[in-house]
Amino acid sequence: MRAFLASSIGVATAAALALPLALPSTALAHPAATRPAARAGSAAPAAPAGSTQSLPLVPVGPAADRTPGVPGMSTSPRLPETRGLSAREVKTFSLVGVVWDDASTQLDGRVQVRTRSVATSAWSEWQDVDTHNSEHAADPDTAERGTGRVRGSTAPLWVGQSDGIEVRVQAEPGGRVVSSGLPTGMRIELVDPGDTTRPPSDAKNGNAGEASPVLDDDDKGELALLPGMTMETAESSSANVPMAPLGAQEIPALNKADSTADAVLADEALAAAPYIGPRPKIVTRLGWGADESLREKGFVYTNKVKAAFVHHTASGNNYACKDAPAVLRSLYRYHVVSSGWRDIGYNFAVDKCGTVYEGRAGGVAKAVLGAHTMGFNTDSMGVAVIGTFASTAPPKAAVDAVARLTAWKLGLFGADPRAKTTLRSGGGNLYAKGSNVRLNVISGHRDGFATECPGRHLYTQLPPTRTASAKLQGRP
């Protein structure tokens, strides 16, 4: 570990850890962190309650080294600004990330956290949080980018159930932010995904123990809601009808021949197209427990899907497959509540066991506009493998799932996974806005934006993934 803080900070930290931890008054819930109460007369929403604690990061370091009247600014240009949060007890959380006011400001520095496990009461070692997250966002000059709610943010880090946190953020020595300080309004976001004990899914008949939806004549043909279903949940679930009934937690897998019918749902005249891969089983948003009251209402679509960008979430690999729905709920909450996006950024997610999950709402067969590859969200889809693959190889099950998913979804729009396509840049750090760029139909995030995503080891798996995806489509 590089030398990070002055020795006096280490002494202060040690002293803090020696004292009993108490819940501080600064452990405030984010204004949009808690779900609204159910409407009078309605059943409780099906989604599990989650929460977000948002705590400001304050200047830390030897007081003698700070310029009087300018908190956190050093009198020595050789001592980078440092902000953080002393060790403290907080409400239970499972995912962390740092956000700041201006989404256009880069954080040139190092972010580290350590957390206290609920299960063992032991503190973790210091863990690095990936600071390069701005490339996962809506394109510049889009409605989603211009809401005024979007913030700069690091990648999120999954830490498991924890009830203690300590944070330190230091400007990179020699980085361009040292002269002006770290971004303003820096906060640590502590996300609790909530819990769920839903009954097992039944893709043919909806949720176990629930009645099938019925047509309500009094509502002029509208579908009556299932027990416990909100209007927001019905809106999201109905986008996948008839592939699965309203309230289904899974969209069932289909063989190649039967999957051709899905092209009609993609608004493409490709119902008889021969090159559509078999549809994989997809866990719906209801299946992984998305709180539909968090996202913006309605859906935003693009013209078609010409390319698939493969990502990693950079949230770490320390999760079990059974925890993947909770990780997704945390990512979703971090994207919407903490980062200010309209919905989760990715169109699909894949866990380490190869399970495919619906991402941004709007229908898995549709060309839903995501916020995954700044500059190239239009006419593309984003697939995120849950984990970090800069120095770790992705599991074969996950790579195979990406091939299956792209064979089906790209096939709905007539795209050959081995081919190249042209996308128009919406603006980023590699290509000027408005420029036409030739890219692989299956590309890595780094192909459209200067980033390490999807990690070196996942990126090297893309050539065989293109071949496997085309083979699943039945291409010669």
Residues 6+ apart with CB under 8 A from 318: 158, 159, 160
pLDDT at 85: 97
pLDDT at 272: 54
Look at strands 58-59 and 152-153 and give their pairing: unpaired
**Which H/E stretch holds residue 436?**
strand 436-440
3-state secondary structure of 462: helix
Distance, C-alpha 141 to centroid of its chain: 21
**What residues in the chain have per-residue pLDDT under 70?**
1-48, 61-79, 133-136, 173-180, 196-224, 267-273
Residue 103 corresponds to which amino acid?
A
Residue 317 DSSP class: S
pLDDT at 447: 94
pLDDT at 224: 62
Domains of the chain, with CATH numbers?
7-22+47-192 (2.60.120), 202-473 (3.40.80.10)
Question: Which token pair is 42?
Answer: 């309605």
Question: Which token pair is 367?
Answer: 């060309």
Give the dihedral sign, CA 379/385/387/389. negative
Please give the model's pTM, rounded to 2 decimal places: 0.83
Distance, C-alpha 259 to centroid of its chain: 28
**Which H/E stretch holds residue 465?**
helix 462-473
pLDDT at 12: 36
- Triad 52, 239, 385: Cα angle to 5°: 55
Task: Give 64's Cβ-side CA count (13 Å radius).
Answer: 3
Question: Which token pair is 432?
Answer: 């000027």
